[in-house]
Every structure is written in structure tokens, then in C-alpha cells.
């Protein structure tokens, strides 16, 4: 792989806007002839997108991955594997521009264990010889793709935020403080894509046909699915919500998060949290936003009692509008906020909720 790194300083920090405007790039400029080669190359691509679902609903990140696949050019195939996944194949078929859907129904795929899915993807790769294999950069994709890459003896390319050419990908490093452009030379590119960086493909207008994925003995002795407990919530899902209200250590207790739930109810928002709030046990860890939590990019992100550590910013700085409420005027969160309120959250949040 070849790398180039763009140092962005603090991505949204006004102080660094001049750096932002003149990103330092050492990547060799592609001439028009290399651009022609790359558009020619894109005609020969064939991409496999691995659908993420729960046998009932297709998860939104698959639609983002489909958009990324289309950006690569060439034919797009979707793999739908599960125990009873016919309805998922029907949903996927509605997306325009898909050549075919490979369906694999097997008890071995109960729980979507990567140990069972890896041989299925490798068998599909052997049969169809895809140039790219894509999935969302979610817990599912992050556990599956490295295994596939290892079996195919290639380097996985993770958490891609842009695609410049079929062999050239952009991803962030150092908790989002630098952008890396890499050129992959492997014959098969195994790529996880960040959902928030690609528009969701629409599920209308398409009529792709389904066929059976390669059959095989996919049951594994390496792992067994026993059970899962899923948290249930009437609120929008954190990574796809249009509005997110997040609380940090400044909330001081789990009970005080009620203030944020009340505000979120008025805004039809999801509730998130900083790692400090999660570590203190105020809220469960599936609410964590940041480098080691979820990446969100809603229309509106309201950070309440959150200082703005880089690891937190890594998960939310692409939000369209950022509002911060913090009693410390020096808190770094104000450097990325579009609107800041220096105030005691225990006064400001109930007032805001009441006014809405």
C-alpha cells in the first residue's frame, strides 16, 4: 500500500481554518492520463456488498455501503446471509443498480457469527472473483472483514470515509486528526465503510434477481451462538438519528440523564454520552459516542456537560450543527461548536425543554 497523510489540525476548529483550507497533501497529483486509466479501471470492477440485517430489517449502514460500492463503478452484487433472510433479499432488490443478490439461508448463520460467514464470503469470492468486498464499519463488519482479508491474504482497509478511485481510499487516523489517502495494490480490496460518510442508497426503482450463494458446510466448531439480549428503545437509533442529545460527566449521575431524555423527547432525538459518563455507569455503553464508541453525524448534535476531548470529537465532529452547553467557557467543545451556551446545564436544559 502507498500512503499519503493530510494533516488537518483540528478539523472544525476556527483557529485552524487556514490549515483546513490548505491541507498539506504529499500525494502525487493524478494527471489526466491516470484519471482516464482509473475511469477505465472502474468499468472492470465488481463489488460484493455484505448486507447487515437481523433477518427482518436491513440495517441502514448497508445502504451507505451500496452508495460506496456504486462509487467504485462496475457491477454490484449483494450477499444476504441469515437463517430466514428472504424478506431482506426482497428489500435489497428494490435498490437500483444491483446486478444480483446472493442469498444464503442456513442455520449456521444464526447469530451472524463471523466464524461461519467468513467461509461463505471466501467461497463467493472464489466463484465470482470480485475486485472489492465491502461492508459497513460496524461491530459486524469490523469482526467479519479482517477474517476475510486474512483468508484471502490481503490487507483490510478499514473505516473508509471517501473513495478517490477503485484502488485509492481515504480514512482518518489519530482519532480523526489526520486524513490518510492510501493506494491499495492487493488484487481484492476488502473495505469497511463509515456509514456517515456516504449517502444512503434509496430502496426504490430496482428489481435485482436473487440466486443461491455457493453452498457448503458453514457450521463452525470455533464458536456457538447461545443468545443475545438487545436493548429496546422507542427512540431513534443513535447512528441514524437526525438529532442527538449527548451528556457527559457534567451530568453527575444517571438519574440526571432524565433531563436529556425529556429534551430528546421534544426533539425526537437519540441520546448519546461521553465515555466518562459511560465509565461512571450513568448510562449503558451502547450510548457512547467517540473514537471507541459510535460515530454519528446528525443534523443537530447537542453536547451537554461534555468537555470536548479529541476522542469524543472523533465520533461527532461531522455533525452539521453542533450546540454545546458547558459552564466552563474554556471547554474545548466550544472550539468546534457552531453555537455555545456558557451556563449551568441543570438550569439551561430544563429551560430549553420547556421552551420547545
Per CB under 6 A, residues contacting ligand FAD are: 248-250, 274-277, 288-293, 305-307, 309, 311-312, 315, 326-328, 331, 344-346
Closer residue to ligand FAD, CB minimum distance, 120 or 333: 333
Q: Which letter does DSSP use for residue 259 in this model?
A: H
Measured distance CA(159)–CA(68) in Å, rounded: 12
Closer residue to ligand FAD, CB minimum distance, 88 or 316: 316
Which residue is associated with the grid cell 493530510?
Answer: 6
β-pair type (178-183, 2-7) = antiparallel
The C-alpha cell at 137 is 464499519
| Least distance in angstroms from the C-beta of 159 to ligand FAD | 14
Residues 6+ apart with CB under 8 A from 221: none
Closer residue to ligand FAD, CB minimum distance, 23 or 173: 173
Closer residue to ligand FAD, CB minimum distance, 76 or 296: 296
Closer residue to ligand FAD, CB minimum distance, 31 or 329: 329
| Least distance in angstroms from the C-beta of 219 to ligand FAD | 36
Q: How many residues are present in the chain?
A: 356
- Order of strands, sheet of 339-342, starting from the edge strand that comes earlier in the sequence: 270-273, 243-247, 300-304, 321-326, 339-342
Closer residue to ligand FAD, CB minimum distance, 134 or 303: 303
Per the annotation, does 155 bind a ligand? no
Which residue is associated with the grid cell 464470503?
Answer: 121
Measured distance CA(241)–CA(300) in Å, rounded: 9
CA atoms within 13 A on the CB side of 296: 35
Per the annotation, does 289 bind a ligand? yes
| Least distance in angstroms from the C-beta of 256 to ligand FAD | 9
Per the annotation, does 55 bind a ligand? no
Instruction: Give residue 93's region: left, alpha or beta (phi > 0; psi -120 to 50).
Output: alpha
Per the annotation, does 296 bind a ligand? no
Which residue is associated with the grid cell 459486524?
Answer: 140
| Least distance in angstroms from the C-beta of 338 to ligand FAD | 18
Helix axes 257-267, 345-355, angle to 10 degrees: 20
Per the annotation, does 291 bind a ligand? yes
| Least distance in angstroms from the C-beta of 110 to ligand FAD | 30
| Least distance in angstroms from the C-beta of 283 to ligand FAD | 11
Q: How far is CA 343 from CA 250, 261, 328, in A?
A: 12, 19, 8
Closer residue to ligand FAD, CB minimum distance, 238 or 277: 277
Measured distance CA(224)–CA(110) in Å, rounded: 9
Per the annotation, does 312 bind a ligand? yes
Measured distance CA(243)–CA(280) in Å, rounded: 24
| Least distance in angstroms from the C-beta of 303 to ligand FAD | 8
Per the annotation, does 147 bind a ligand? no
Per the annotation, does 288 bind a ligand? yes
Per the annotation, does 309 bind a ligand? yes
Q: Show binding-site residues.
A: 249, 274-275, 288-292, 305-312, 326
Q: Show binding-site residues for FAD.
A: 249, 274-275, 288-292, 305-312, 326
Amino acid at each position: 500500500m502507498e500512503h499519503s497523510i493530510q494533516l488537518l489540525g483540528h478539523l472544525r476548529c476556527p483557529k485552524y481554518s487556514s490549515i483546513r483550507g490548505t491541507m498539506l497533501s504529499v500525494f502525487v497529483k493524478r494527471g489526466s492520463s491516470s484519471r482516464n486509466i482509473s475511469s477505465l479501471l472502474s468499468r472492470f470492477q465488481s463489488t460484493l456488498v455484505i448486507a447487515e440485517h437481523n433477518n427482518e430489517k436491513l440495517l441502514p449502514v448497508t445502504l451507505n455501503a451500496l452508495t460506496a460500492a456504486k462509487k467504485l463503478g462496475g457491477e454490484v452484487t449483494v450477499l444476504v446471509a441469515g437463517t430466514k433472510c428472504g424478506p431482506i433479499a426482497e428489500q435489497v432488490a428494490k435498490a437500483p443498480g444491483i446486478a444480483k443478490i446472493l442469498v444464503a439461508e442456513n442455520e449456521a448463520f444464526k447469530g451472524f457469527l463471523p466464524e461461519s460467514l467468513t467461509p461463505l464470503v471466501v467461497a463467493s469470492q472464489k466463484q465470482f472473483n470480485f475486485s472489492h468486498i465491502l461492508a459497513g464499519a460496524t461491530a459486524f463488519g469490523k469482526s467479519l472483514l479482517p477474517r476475510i482479508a486474512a483468508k484471502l491474504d490481503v490487507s483490510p482497509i478499514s473505516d473508509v470515509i471517501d473513495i478517490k478511485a477503485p484502488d485509492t481510499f481515504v480514512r482518518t487516523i489519530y482519532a480523526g486528526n489526520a486524513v490518510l489517502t492510501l493506494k491499495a495494490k492487493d488484487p481484492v480490496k476488502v473495505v469497511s465503510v463509515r456509514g456517515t460518510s456516504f449517502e444512503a442508497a434509496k430502496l426504490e426503482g430496482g428489481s435485482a434477481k436473487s440466486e443461491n450463494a455457493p453452498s457448503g458446510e458453514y457450521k463452525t466448531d470455533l464458536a456457538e451462538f447461545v443468545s443475545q439480549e438487545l436493548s429496546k428503545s422507542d427512540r431513534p437509533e443513535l447512528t441514524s438519528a437526525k438529532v442527538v442529545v449527548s451528556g457527559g460527566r457534567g451530568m453527575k449521575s444517571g438519574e440526571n440523564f432524565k433531563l436529556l431524555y425529556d429534551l430528546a423527547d421534544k426533539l425526537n432525538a437519540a441520546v448519546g454520552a461521553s465515555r466518562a459518563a459511560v465509565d461512571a455507569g450513568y448510562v449503558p455503553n451502547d450510548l457512547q459516542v467517540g473514537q471507541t464508541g459510535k460515530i454519528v453525524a446528525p443534523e443537530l448534535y447537542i453536547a451537554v456537560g461534555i468537555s470536548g476531548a479529541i476522542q469524543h470529537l472523533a465520533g461527532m465532529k461531522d455533525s452539521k450543527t453542533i450546540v454545546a452547553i458547558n459552564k466552563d467557557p474554556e471547554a474545548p467543545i466550544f472550539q468546534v461548536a457552531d453555537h455555545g451556551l456558557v451556563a449551568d446545564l441543570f438550569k439551561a436544559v430544563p429551560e430549553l425543554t420547556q421552551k420547545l
